[in-house]
């Protein structure tokens, strides 16, 4: 990702991530040259059908994705954001690799002439159009494209050549994916008969009576489950017990170390003392930097950039006023208004970013920036200079254009330059990302902004609170042996929690944060083992044990036996109820006669459709509703085994929908085909995933 992508989420994110991935891969090859095979495999985060991704490349993408999410959410780094980024990058790797391998397997390719046409032909790739659109006119500039290609071929730097090759590879992959998409879409077809049937299922109405013998009418004490009952159910539903990845069943005890009322009172007393000191401080920014838990930038802010409590007062008080403390999400906040003024609400700007290190230092970068600024002021094309010189890969493809953004979206130095200047200005600014040549295109709106020294204090657990919680956890841990977890918990009056299907990359148990080292232990431990120490988070101490291990693949009957007990009971009850209902059905000519024999009343329902097979007030019963739609009017069905009980059905009549005219039938086919195509993508991906040999080693690194 380009450096300025840290400042702003640009549309070129995907392309840039792929670029970094390629660079990291090449660097990885250099670093791993001569490394033994077993050492190489130790650095693999995972693989798909033998195609692996190493840690260096994977982590580069994780870092970029984490930065993007932090920027979007406007917050600091957190384990939750990073874990989400790890999952997203993994999913992207798996899906892209599966698709790539399938495309290769079926022989799709992009020829040289086809690729040339996508670059310089009459209908170039959208990526070419995006990269070489003139920001002034908003139209594709073929001359700019030809000039860039000429530069690459004659005097292109290694970086330019790499960027160009990366763009060509992205175009090739985009076309391959498009071909596969077209192939899949064109393989889906809906006949007129299918469209008519779908229409009927959604619009044909059935009115019928049903009689239900509820499974709950048979007491559990009246049945006895055998091994054969379990085996029969398991064999019939075996594919439903596939474990896509290894899981663990864990028991654990949480020892609460969250802040108490005393901790809250202590934090409030501290922030009130800081408020008095901030009110008289002569060095407000330094005071805030030293005393605040969160290092808020000492810069101008607009309304909506701070917490609602601060936001409601900061823009309405005189300069010099200290406000607060306010409590928000477990944090006390105070603030002192140092300056206020009116400023544009948003700015449209473009920039060229120079890497100060590559230029030989800030002074040399500043000299080069001043030279570029001079060229711009003499009428040279800003966009062309951006393509030639800018190191921000996310914006240079758009001629340096950054679009329109509000205050606070860029780093402070950048913000100050574009919001304090005026449209048409070209300014040079240094930031932690390098040296920027900025052109202010346009400013919009005018609202009050303030510069405030903000100090916050998080309510944390005091030593007494954490010591007390740890003492309880340590006492529990000290009394454990290999088989007394529940006994010790009962004796010490602590609650044992359970998570049935923990996976390696989980970061919480039933909504409670758990540390990654606990998960690593859990997936290295054997069945029955207790944790080797007391684990801790910011709010809890945790002691756990491994209850069971469910391997990847089809789970055994023993593994699923507790989970299927209720369903097996219903199967056994169904046999008894079917026999009872069949006896009542024998010789009966109507559902009411059957009901009378059983001392029940048949229930009448109306306007039921096959596409939504719900019995009102009962449950989703597709077998029952499907039976009704297959009956002739006034004919009593055989016994039907449903989800809630055993049924018999008698149809009173059907209400057929209006006939589809040709135009409506065509629309029905079109809608159904679009739905089928969408489902086809999901089904194909799932099939590829089920067939693939996917090795996930992320737990070794994250």
In what helix (H) or strand (E) does residue 637 lie, and over which residues does it extend? none
Q: Is 400 inside a domain boundary?
A: yes
Q: Comparing C-alpha atoms, which of 130, 208, 229 is closest to residue 174?
A: 130
Contact 306, 454 (CB under 8 A): yes
Contact 252, 499 (CB under 8 A): yes
Same domain, 614 and 648: yes
Q: What 8-state DSSP symbol labels residue 531? A: P
Same domain, 20 and 106: yes
In 3-state terms, what secondary structure has residue 358? coil
Q: Is 693 inside a domain boundary?
A: no
Q: Comparing C-alpha atoms, which of 237, 170, 142, 54 is closest to residue 700?
A: 54
pLDDT tens-digit map of 366-415: 999 999 999 999 888 898 898 888 988 878 878 899 999 988 888 888 99
Same domain, 572 and 468: no
Q: Is 674 inside a domain boundary?
A: no
Q: Is 450 inside a domain boundary?
A: no
Q: Comparing C-alpha atoms, which of 565, 617, 569, 579 is closest to residue 218?
A: 569
CA-to-CA distance for 660 and 663, rounded, in angstroms?
8
pLDDT tens-digit map of 220-265: 999 999 999 999 999 999 989 988 889 999 999 999 999 999 999 9
Q: Is 436 inside a domain boundary?
A: yes
Q: Comparing C-alpha atoms, which of 588, 462, 474 is closest to residue 533?
A: 474
State yes or no: pLDDT of 306 exceeds 80. yes
Cα torsion through 443, 446, 452, 458, rounded to 10? -80
Domain boundary (316, 343, 370) is at: 343
Same domain, 395 and 326: no
Largest CA distance in the chain: 103
Same domain, 592 and 619: yes
Same domain, 397 and 524: no
Same domain, 286 and 252: no
Q: Is 37 inside a domain boundary?
A: yes
Q: Comparing C-alpha atoms, which of 159, 244, 338, 252 is closest to residue 512?
A: 252
CA atoms within 13 A on the CB side of 352: 26
The CA distances from residue 67 to 265, 391, 411, 465, in Å, are 35, 18, 14, 34
Residues in the chain: 702
List Cβ neighbours of 594 (8 Å cut-off, separation of 6 or more).
211, 581, 584, 585, 588, 602, 636, 648
In what helix (H) or strand (E) does residue 296 lie, and over which residues does it extend? none
Q: Is 188 inside a domain boundary?
A: no
Mean pLDDT, the chain, integer: 88
For residue 528, what is the domain's CATH number?
A: 3.10.50
CA-to-CA distance for 615 and 479, rounded, in angstroms?
54
pTM tops 0.85: no
Q: How confident is the model at residue 491 (pLDDT cuts 50, 70, 90)?
A: very high
Domain boundary (411, 444, 477) is at: 444
Same domain, 158 and 251: no
CA-to-CA distance for 534 and 270, rounded, in angstroms?
31
Q: How confident is the model at residue 643 (pLDDT cuts 50, 70, 90)?
A: very high
pLDDT of residue 74: 57
Domain boundary (534, 551, 568) is at: 551
Q: Which of 28-32, 297-301, 552-556, 644-648 has the highest mean pLDDT?
A: 644-648
Q: Is 667 inside a domain boundary?
A: no
Neighbours of 270 (CB within 10 A): 14
Tally of domains in the chain: 5
Rounded mean pLDDT of 78-104?
A: 89
CA atoms within 13 A on the CB side of 496: 18
pLDDT tens-digit map of 142-165: 888 888 888 888 877 777 788 888
pLDDT of residue 22: 32
For residue 357, what is the domain's CATH number?
A: 3.10.50.40
The CA distances from residue 606 to 167, 653, 657, in Å, are 61, 10, 15
Same domain, 136 and 25: yes
CA-to-CA distance for 307 and 637, rounded, in angstroms?
65
pLDDT tens-digit map of 49-87: 999 999 999 998 898 888 888 766 655 667 778 888 999
Same domain, 39 and 164: yes
The residue segments making up the domain with residue 532 are 247-258+462-551
Contact 340, 352 (CB under 8 A): no
In 3-state terms, what secondary structure has residue 502? strand
Same domain, 524 and 584: no
Burial class (CB in 10 A: 0-12, 13-18, 19+), 465: middle
pLDDT of residue 72: 67
CA-to-CA distance for 107 and 284, rounded, in angstroms?
67
Q: Comparing C-alpha atoms, which of 172, 252, 146 is closest to residue 534?
A: 252
Q: How confident is the model at residue 11 (pLDDT cuts 50, 70, 90)?
A: very low
Rounded mean pLDDT of 546-550?
A: 93
CA-to-CA distance for 253 and 497, rounded, in angstroms?
6
Same domain, 388 and 304: no
The CA distances from residue 495 to 32, 268, 466, 474, 476, in Å, are 50, 32, 19, 15, 12
pLDDT of residue 132: 84
């Amino acid at each position: 990702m380009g450096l300025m992508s840290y400042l702003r989420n640009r549309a070129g994110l995907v392309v840039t991530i792929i670029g970094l991935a390629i660079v990291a891969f090449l660097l990885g090859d250099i670093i791993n040259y001569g490394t033994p095979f077993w050492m190489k495999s130790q650095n693999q985060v995972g693989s798909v059908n033998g195609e692996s991704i190493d840690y260096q490349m994977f982590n580069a993408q994780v870092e970029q994705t984490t930065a993007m999410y932090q920027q979007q959410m406007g917050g600091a780094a957190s384990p939750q954001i990073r874990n989400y980024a790890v999952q997203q990058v993994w999913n992207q790797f798996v899906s892209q690799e599966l698709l790539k391998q399938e495309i290769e397997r079926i022989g799709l390719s992009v020829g040289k002439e086809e690729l040339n046409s996508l670059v310089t032909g009459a209908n170039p790739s959208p990526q070419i159009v995006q990269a070489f659109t003139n920001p002034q006119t908003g139209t594709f500039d073929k001359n700019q494209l030809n000039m860039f290609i000429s530069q690459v071929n004659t005097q292109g730097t290694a970086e330019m050549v790499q960027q160009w090759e990366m763009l060509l590879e992205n175009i090739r992959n985009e076309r391959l994916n498009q071909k596969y998409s077209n192939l899949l879409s064109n393989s889906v077809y809906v006949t007129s008969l299918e469209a008519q049937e779908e229409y009927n299922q959604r619009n044909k109405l059935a009115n019928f009576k049903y009689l239900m013998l509820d499974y709950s009418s048979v007491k559990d004490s009246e049945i006895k489950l055998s091994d054969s009952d379990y085996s029969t159910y398991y064999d019939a539903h075996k594919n439903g017990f596939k474990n896509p990845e290894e899981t663990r069943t864990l028991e654990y005890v949480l020892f609460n170390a969250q802040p108490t009322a005393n901790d809250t009172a202590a934090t409030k007393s501290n922030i009130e003392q800081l408020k008095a000191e901030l009110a008289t401080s002569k060095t407000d920014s330094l005071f805030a930097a030293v005393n605040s838990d969160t290092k808020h930038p000492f810069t101008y802010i607009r309304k909506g950039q701070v917490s609602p409590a601060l936001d409601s007062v900061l823009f309405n008080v005189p300069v010099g006023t200290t406000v607060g403390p306010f409590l928000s999400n477990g944090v006390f906040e105070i603030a002192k208004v140092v300056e206020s003024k009116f400023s544009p609400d948003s700015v449209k700007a473009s920039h060229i970013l120079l890497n100060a290190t590559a230029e030989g230092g800030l002074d040399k970068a500043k000299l080069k920036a001043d030279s570029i600024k001079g060229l711009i002021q003499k009428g040279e094309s800003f966009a062309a200079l951006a393509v030639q010189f800018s190191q921000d890969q996310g914006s240079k493809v758009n001629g340096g254009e950054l679009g329109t953004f509000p205050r606070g979206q860029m780093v402070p130095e950048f913000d100050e330059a574009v919001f304090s200047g005026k449209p048409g200005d070209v300014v040079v600014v240094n930031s932690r990302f390098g040296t920027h040549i900025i052109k202010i295109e346009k400013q919009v709106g005018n609202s009050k902004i303030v510069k405030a020294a903000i100090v916050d204090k998080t309510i944390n657990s005091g030593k007494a609170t954490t010591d007390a919680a740890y003492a309880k956890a340590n006492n529990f841990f000290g009394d454990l042996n290999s088989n007394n977890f529940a006994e010790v918990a009962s004796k010490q009056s602590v609650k044992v929690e359970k998570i049935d299907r923990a996976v390696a990359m989980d970061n919480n148990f039933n909504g409670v944060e758990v540390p990654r080292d606990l998960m690593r232990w859990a997936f290295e431990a054997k069945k029955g083992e207790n944790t080797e120490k007391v684990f801790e988070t910011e709010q809890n101490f945790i002691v756990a044990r491994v209850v069971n291990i469910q391997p990847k693949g089809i789970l055994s009957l023993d593994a699923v036996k507790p989970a299927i007990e209720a369903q097996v009971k219903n199967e056994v009850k169904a046999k008894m109820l079917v026999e009872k209902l069949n006896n009542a059905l024998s010789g009966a000519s109507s559902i009411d006669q059957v009901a009378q024999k059983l001392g029940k009343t048949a229930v009448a329902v109306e306007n039921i459709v096959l596409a939504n097979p719900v019995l009102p007030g009962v449950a989703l019963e597709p077998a029952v509703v499907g039976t009704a739609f297959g009956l002739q009017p006034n004919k009593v069905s055989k016994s039907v085994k449903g989800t809630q009980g055993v049924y018999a059905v008698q149809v009173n009549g059907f209400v057929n929908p209006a006939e589809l005219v040709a135009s409506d039938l065509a629309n029905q086919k079109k809608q159904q085909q679009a739905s089928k195509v969408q489902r086809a993508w999901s089904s194909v991906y799932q099939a590829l995933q089920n067939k693939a040999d996917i090795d996930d080693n992320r737990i070794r690194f994250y």
